[in-house]
Amino acid sequence: MFKELETVGQPIGVPISAEDAASAPVLSSKTRRRMQPSNMTENTKWVECMSRISLERDRAAFAVIFDHFGPRVKAFLVKSGSNMSMAEECTQDVMITLWRKADMFDPSRASVATWIFTIARNRRIDLLRKERRPEPEELTWGPEADPEPEELLGLQQESTQLVAAIATLPDKQRDLIQKAYFGDLTHAEIASETGLPLGTIKSRIRLALERLRHNMKRNEP
């Protein structure tokens, strides 16, 4: 939650080398070959924009995020069954939320794409299903639990790797994941669908759990 902005801000400009990415153990060599160094810095660029929006109310930084993610959010909503005018209205809502709640973005927990996805998903439930979306309580990490720069970079890197890993899946599996997230699969269908490539996700889960345990150990009195 940007408690220590110096800590959060410091690693942002540091470029991540392709070698770092290639040393990640969870990816196949095929995936590694597909990863471009330019992709590796994209996530940290978005994080930097969020930081500038939060700290300086920087309209230019907002425009950078808006121009990249706005059309994606709108496409996501259209593919989720929204009509054009509702998708436009909903995307504008999502972007206003991003502007107003920029302080709540936590780069040690999610990439900017992931955070925007959660806002868009909740608006979709709100608008298309007219339902409330119950959300878990926020964690109240102690002040000593502010993210280490390496952790922050690590998470942003993982998110890039996940995009790359999904991009290399066979079409059928990738389509299934997309269908699920566009809201085209029911829970029963997700539960019974054997073609969902949960292995891809599991590697990301393993890393998240390791990081969590590391955090909890550090927080022990």
Partner 1 sequence: MTQINHHLDDSLLMGYSAGALPEAFNLVVASHISMCDECRARLGAFDAVGGAVLEDAGSVQLEMAAADLLDAVGTEKVRPVVSKPTSSIYPQVLLDYIGPDPDQVKWSKLGMGVRQAILKTSSSASVRLLHIPAGCEMPDHGHHGTELTLVLQGAFRDERDRFARGDIEIATEDDHHKPVADESGPCICLAATDAPLHFSGIVQRIAQRWARI
Name which of residues 140 to 169 contact partner 1 (CB under 8 A).
140, 158-159, 162-163, 166-167
Query: Is residue 45 within the footprint of partner 1 (CB under 8 A)?
Result: no
Task: Give the C-alpha separation, 55 to 46, whole Å.
Answer: 14
Contacts to partner 1 from residues 167-196, by CB under 8 A = 167, 177-178, 180-183, 185-188, 190-191, 196
Minimum Å gap between C-beta 132 and partner 1 is 6
Contacts to partner 1 from residues 64-103, by CB under 8 A = 66-67, 69-76, 78-79, 84, 87-88, 91-92, 95-96, 99-103
Segment interacting with partner 1, rule: CB under 8 A, options 6-14, 16-24, 27-35, 137-145: 137-145
Q: CA angle at residue 202 from 199 to 205, to 5 degrees?
A: 165
Segment interacting with partner 1, rule: CB under 8 A, options 5-13, 21-29, 134-142, 143-151: 134-142
The correct pick among 5, 14, 22, 216 for binding partner 1 (CB under 8 A) is: 216
Nearest to 206 by CA among 47, 40, 25: 25
Minimum Å gap between C-beta 204 and partner 1 is 4
Task: Give the C-alpha separation, 177 to 156, whole Å.
Answer: 21
Category of 131 on φ-ψ map: left (φ > 0), alpha (ψ -120 to 50) or beta: beta
Q: What is the DSSP string of 28-73?
A: -HHHHHH--HHHHHHHHHHHHHHHHHHHH--HHHHHHHHHHHHHHH
